[in-house]
Amino acid sequence: MHQRALLLLLICITVVTITPSYAAGVDCTARGMQVDLHGCNLSGADLHGRNLSGANLSGAVLTGANLADTDLQNANLAGVMSGGITGLPQALAIPPANIKRVLFIGNSYTGVNNLPAIFGSIVKNIGNPVPVITAVTPGGQTFKGHLGYAATQAAINAGNWDVVVLQNQSQEPAFAEINAQSRTDMVQSAAELCRRIRLKSPNARIFFYETWARHPHYWSNNQPRSEGASPHDMQARLRKWYGVVAQANHATVVPVGDAWEYYATTPNPTRLHASDNSHPAFAGSYLAGLVFYAKIYGVTLPTITWNGSLSASVAQQMQTTAAHTLAATASNGLPPGWYLRNGYLLGPGANLTGANLSNMDLAGIDLSGAILSNVTWSNTICPDGSNSDSHAGSCQQAFATQTPTATATATATATRTSTATATASRTRTATRTRTSTRTPTNTRTQTSTPTASRTRTQTNTRTATRTATASRTRTATRTATAYPYP
């Protein structure tokens, strides 16, 4: 018995000895890019320059850690305890040689003009090794539809992907703002796609392709649209819900729609939409390819001489627009929605127990689910923009919340009126008889026959009218496509 106890003690000592030096007595096992550091005590650890993109740091302690040039993009920071952090996290560039296999999963917004081939041409023109690129782009497909689409699942199951791009149906993220079913379909299906991708490609980096709003002509004649009240409103919804699924799945947003929106404000812009006011013209796809290159490779957009079918001047406009958008949305090495302020990591689910947040500006920061016990709030600008001093010295009751409530109007080139009248009638009669006999001194018979009858008739009449217009272009499904790179 004593020998067994001694053996167990020696094993424990051995485990502690081989634990990575940056873990304080906790077994933190590295698994490729997906580093599992959940629950690790990293107090005072020097994490300078480490690539922890996609790492699981949930519940870890980072108090006093050095995060200078540490890449924490897409890391899981839920429950992280911090304070006294030094250095600024920084996204690390990915060596081009490490990107060998790229998979695009989307629909006609990816397939029209062959965006994967445009991306490959840009990579080649810059002088980087061109990865093997595969695309699955059936027209109009949603995230949910891809879960049951054989070609998509075959591509995912092929595995060994370095980069996977996910693009949803163009309207669903806008509908997600106002329609619970659209919201559920998008969020849950995105999560399941990411789960399946990482099961077969554990080291894959996942990117969500944020698309663009419809052309202003789509809102002509002041016709109401369930995608939003205007292109700006629709783009805000797209930005929000692609950001939601990217953050939830430790992925990266490629802000193509933001680039389109910015370009529309420049003088005499070239039309980016096709004539249907929905799909991209070549200029729009070219702009998307530029944004993809910089986001996937994690670099500042270099000089590009390949213009495709565009004139040199228009191509230069696209490159300038992409560079502006990327600078405005540059990653600071933290997951979407997370910030480093006064030595604290702030974001949804952060553990801020005992934190001193006095005199800090938290406006716009999402602290939903955060642990906020014993926090000091003096003169703090709360997430909703108010001052903690106006809330009895606390921000906990001032967090901005949003519960979307509205009714979505579906899209189809038709007007349909349906009237349903239902009549329900229910009659219930209950008869109950109970007889009891008691002996020996007497006999008593008691009979009870209650009868209850209830009849209820309900008539409901509902008339619903749904009107909307959409144009959809279907393209052929491309699977395991070998693209030419002009």
pLDDT tens digit string along 122-150?
Answer: 999 999 999 999 999 999 999 999 999 99
More confidently predicted of 30 and 175: 175
Angle between helix 282-297 and helix 256-263 axes, rounded to 10 deg: 130
- Percentage of the chain surpassing pLDDT 90? 59
Asked whether the predicted pLDDT for residue 159 surpasses 90, the reply is yes
pLDDT tens-digit readout, 285-320: 999 999 999 999 988 899 999 999 999 999 999 999
**pLDDT (0 to 100) of residue 26:** 53
**pLDDT (0 to 100) of residue 365:** 87
C-alpha 112: how far from its chain's center? 24
**pLDDT (0 to 100) of residue 34:** 55
Asked whether the predicted pLDDT for residue 151 surpasses 50, the reply is yes
Residue with tokens 């050095």: 66
**Residue 55 CB-density burial (10 A; 0-12 exposed, 13-18 middle, 19+ buried):** buried
**pLDDT (0 to 100) of residue 27:** 52
pLDDT tens-digit readout, 376-423: 999 999 988 899 998 888 887 766 443 333 333 333 333 343 333 343
* Structure tokens, 355: 């934190």
pLDDT tens-digit readout, 235-288: 999 999 999 999 888 889 999 999 999 999 999 999 999 999 999 999 999 999
Asked whether the predicted pLDDT for residue 113 surpasses 70, the reply is yes
d(CA 119, CA 99) in angstroms, rounded, equals: 13
Which residues on neighbouring strands pair with residue 410, listed in sequence order? Answer: none
Write down the mean pLDDT value for the chain.
80
**pLDDT (0 to 100) of residue 23:** 42
Asked whether the predicted pLDDT for residue 187 surpasses 90, the reply is yes
Query: Structural domains in the chain?
Result: 96-328 (3.40.50.1110)
Of the candidates 266, 265, 259, the one whose C-alpha atom is nearest the C-alpha of residue 280 is: 259
More confidently predicted of 429 and 283: 283
pTM given for the model: 0.67
Q: Is the CB of residue 307 less than 8 Å from the CB of residue 244? A: no
pLDDT band for position 331 (cuts 50, 70, 90) = low
HSE, CB side, 13 Å, CA atoms: give it for residue 418: 6
- Percentage of the chain surpassing pLDDT 70? 74
More confidently predicted of 79 and 327: 79
d(CA 210, CA 227) in angstroms, rounded, equals: 15
pLDDT tens-digit readout, 17-56: 323 444 444 556 444 445 789 899 999 999 998 989 878 8
pLDDT band for position 12 (cuts 50, 70, 90) = very low
Q: Is the CB of residue 342 less than 8 Å from the CB of residue 334? A: no
